[in-house]
Every structure is written in structure tokens, then in C-alpha cells.
């Protein structure tokens, strides 16, 4: 939306029908037109691509675009600039743009850096795709990590990059994600969304593996709805 305003262009964002109310309201607040289509994010992506072609407009994928993935690779640049001795970098994965750009940069600087993809067990399309050697369109289920949930487009430019540069994968369940969101709020006073909780959950689950190493976690956002956050807080307060 900021880029659209800078260029004087209108922006229409396509989301799946189940997009959270808070995220939709944020898009509207920044002046975007929001269209909802389909049950999965890839349904919305395909509809947006088709509509842009019919109208003669520009379509921008959230991940399936070389320029987008290259831009996200600046995260790798920032990590390496501040911590060149980094051993492990953990990144949450949806369509693979963030980890693809980040991993490609880091591997160019130091092939020994281990880049680990983190996904919820309820939505692990890229993990299964890389494991099988081709894009797998398996179903995704409800997850706190709505920012990484859903299918990926056939022929996505991110798939070969993830296959080449991502060293390992860690899958986490919903309780682990919830615990991670609460942990960050309770111990570090940082509010994070579910997709960011995935990477924290993965680190906590495998912390012995990273003992004594320089580890960077890419915390990819704090856009969590008040309803979801309240639910997480209530569950942990009751547990205590």
C-alpha cells in the first residue's frame, strides 16, 4: 500500500475468504481495496493473476516473483552484516519467498551457514514439496500461523530455490505455536503473530541442537488479532 501511494497507484489486495478480520481492517485502513476469493490463499492468488491479466493491470505475487524474493533477501544481508559469524538462521515458511531470498544471500556469503525452514504441521506444503522433489498440493488445516498457511502456485520460482538452499526443516504443532507467542509476550514483552511464533517454537523445540551456536531467528511479524491473542492468554492463564 505504501508503494502504491508513492507511485500514485491504486492497490487491490486479494485474500482468501477466511482472512482474519484484523488483517482485512488493516488493509482497508491503509487505503487498499480488498477482494476475498476462495478457501485457500492460492485460490486468491490465481484469481488476482487472472483479473490483472483481463484488466491489463500489474499483478504482484507475495512470493512467486523474482523481484519480491530478491527484496526479501535483504533480511539475509542485515543478518550477515550484524552477525557474520552466524551458524544457524531459522525462518518461517509459507510460499518460500522470505526464506528463499534470505538463504540464497547467506549461502553466497558463507555456504556453511545452516538455513532452517520452519512450518506448522497443519500447513506444510513447501516441506512436503521439497521432500518429494516436486510441488505437492496437500490440504492445509486451521493454524495460528495464518501468515504462512496455504498452498503454493505450480511452477513457483521459490520451489527450486528452497530445494537448493534450505538445509533442514522443523515442523511444530499448534500448542507449540501458542506457547511461543505467549513466551515472547511474557518473557520478552514482544507481541508476535502466529507465523513468527512458528520460528520461536521451532527453536525452543530443538534448543539443545543450537546450544553454543550463533543463531538468528527471523521474527516475521506482529499482526495478531486481539481475539486470537486473548484466546492464547486465556489458555495459558488457566493452565497456570
Q: Integer distance in angstroms from the first to the last C-alpha of the chain?
A: 42
What pLDDT sits at residue 99?
A: 98
pLDDT above 90 (res 1): no
Task: Give me the mean pLDDT over the 203-213 stretch.
Answer: 97
Cβ-contact 149, 19 below 8 angstroms: no
**What whole-number distance in Å separates Cα of residue 51 and Cα of residue 155?**
19
pLDDT digits (tens, 9 = 90+) for 88-98: 999 999 999 99
**What whole-number distance in Å separates Cα of residue 95 and Cα of residue 140?**
13
What secondary structure letter does DSSP report for 210? Answer: T
**What whole-number distance in Å separates Cα of residue 119 and Cα of residue 2?**
29
For the chain, give every domain's residue range.
2-60, 67-228
pLDDT above 70 (res 240): no
Give residue 11's pLDDT band: very low, low, confident or very high (50, 70, 90): confident
**What whole-number distance in Å separates Cα of residue 106 and Cα of residue 115?**
8
- Report DSSP letters for 112-130, one per residue: TSEEEEEEETTS-HHHHHH
What pLDDT sits at residue 31?
A: 82
Q: How far is CA 226 from CA 103, 182, 230, 232, 238, in A?
A: 33, 13, 6, 10, 18
Mean pLDDT of the chain: 93
What pLDDT sits at residue 238?
A: 67
Q: What's the CATH number of domain 67-228, 3.40.50.1100, 3.90.1330.10, 3.10.580.10, 3.40.50.261?
A: 3.40.50.1100
Selected residue with higher pLDDT from 163 and 12: 163
What pTM was estimated for this model as a whole?
A: 0.90
pLDDT digits (tens, 9 = 90+) for 53-89: 999 999 999 999 999 999 999 999 999 999 999 999 9
pLDDT above 70 (res 239): no
What pLDDT sits at residue 214?
A: 98
Amino acid at each position: 500500500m505504501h508503494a502504491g501511494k508513492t507511485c500514485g497507484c491504486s492497490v487491490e489486495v486479494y485474500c482468501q475468504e477466511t482472512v482474519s478480520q484484523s488483517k482485512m481492517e488493516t488493509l482497508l485502513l491503509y487505503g487498499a481495496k480488498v477482494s476475498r476469493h476462495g478457501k485457500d490463499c492460492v485460490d486468491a492468488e490465481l484469481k488476482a493473476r487472472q483479473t490483472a491479466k483481463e484488466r491489463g493491470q500489474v499483478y504482484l505475487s507475495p512470493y512467486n516473483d523474482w523481484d519480491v524474493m530478491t527484496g526479501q533477501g535483504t533480511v539475509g544481508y542485515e543478518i550477515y552484516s550484524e552477525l557474520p559469524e552466524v551458524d544457524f538462521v531459522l525462518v518461517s515458511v509459507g510460499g518460500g519467498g522470505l526464506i528463499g531470498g534470505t538463504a540464497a544471500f547467506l549461502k553466497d556469503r558463507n555456504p556453511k551457514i545452516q538455513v532452517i525452514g520452519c512450518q506448522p504441521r497443519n500447513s506444510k506444503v513447501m516441506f512436503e514439496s521439497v521432500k518429494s522433489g516436486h510441488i505437492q498440493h496437500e490440504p492445509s488445516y486451521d493454524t495460528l500461523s495464518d501468515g504462512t498457511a496455504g498452498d503454493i502456485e505450480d511452477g513457483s520460482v521459490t520451489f527450486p530455490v528452497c530445494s537448493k538452499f534450505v538445509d533442514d526443516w522443523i515442523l511444530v504443532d499448534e500448542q507449540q505455536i501458542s506457547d511461543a507467542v505467549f513466551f515472547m509476550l511474557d518473557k520478552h514483552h514482544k507481541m508476535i503473530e502466529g507465523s513468527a511464533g512458528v520460528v520461536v517454537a521451532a527453536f525452543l523445540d530443538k534448543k539443545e541442537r543450537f546450544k553454543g551456536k550463533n543463531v538468528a531467528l527471523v521474527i516475521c511479524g506482529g499482526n495478531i488479532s486481539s481475539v486470537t491473542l486473548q484466546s492464547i492468554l486465556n489458555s495459558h492463564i488457566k493452565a497456570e
